[in-house]
Amino acid sequence: MGLAPASADNPLATTPTPALRSLLGGPLTVEQVGAGEGWLLLPLDARLGVDGLPQSATGQTALFTGVNAPAAIGHHVTAFPGPQLRAILAEHSVLKRAAEAGRRVTFANPFTRAYFERLETRRRRTHSATTWAALAAGVELRGPGDLAAGRAVSWDVLRDRFQAALSDGEGPVPEVSAEEAGGHLAALAGDHHVTLYETFLTDLAGHFRFGLTAADALTRVDGLLAGLLAARPADVTLLLSSDHGNVEAGDHKRHTLNPVPLLAVGPAARRFAGLEAITDLAPRMLEVLAEG
């Protein structure tokens, strides 16, 4: 998800997103960059001085470590992190560093049995950079039982696509509304100092994959935010960002060169003012955590 001007080709401008529009006074576009009561919206550079389109593996590594990952290996890397990126995540993961400082950290996403079977049989090459960032902190990955009990939030928000991937004996996992899922995420955030949640709905929709439309993806994400903001404990600050642009360009299915949003909502929102690139986020998070 990138931050671009409002236009007829920008689904972020044309899709009804009541939670975001109520908060920002308009859609999640560059026109809303600024600050309001308890919130801040900034554009963050995802290109990081490296030619080419920003990609997932290097972008996520940079976002979760503060290290300029594409510069470190000389190019942007798509999809999954190789050994060099995994080494950066293992050493510099913001979750790991927060845990080492005595903070409670967690990863909200659940995983199916089939996911681990694909890893074992090498039908899936490796974890995403996001998952490696969580594993570096020693967190225990959640499963379908956690999801059914409201102690996890699936990448698809509503659980419908997640449930289709369950093996015998793992379900059923009842579907929920996007707002209910947001409430579950708020509860996890209230119990931890850092709660990481990943959705790739907007990226799949931006690539025109699996029949997901931009409107469907953005509606789910906005509903999740509505539930999260409504149930968010008063001392929790929400940070929403991305590894690269994509869904904001509805006229093609490539990544973009646009900056990505940093939306901060909550008591520490103004502490994130002045950030310029995705590599600035993890260091500032650690500063804010150190301040208590």
Strands 105-107 and 194-196: parallel
Is-contact 21 229, C-beta < 8 A?
Answer: no
pLDDT digits (tens, 9 = 90+) for 140-158: 999 999 999 999 999 999 9
Please work out, in degrees rounded to the nearest 5, the angle formed at the alpha carbon of residue 104 by the alpha carbons of 242 and 184: 60
Distance of alpha carbon 194 from alpha carbon 192, whole angstroms: 5
Res. 229 pLDDT band, cuts 50 70 90: very high
Residue 286: exposure state from Cβ atoms within 10 A (0-12, 13-18, ≥19): middle
The pair phi, psi for residue 89, each rounded to 5°, is -65, -40
> Taking a C-beta distance cutoff of 8 angstroms, is the pair 239, 264 a contact?
yes
| Lowest-confidence pick of 62-71, 82-91, 191-200, 201-210 | 201-210
What is residue 257's DSSP assignment? S
Position 229, amino acid: L
pLDDT at 262 over 90: yes
Give the per-residue pLDDT at 26.
Answer: 97
How many C-beta neighbours within 10 Å does residue 243 have?
A: 26
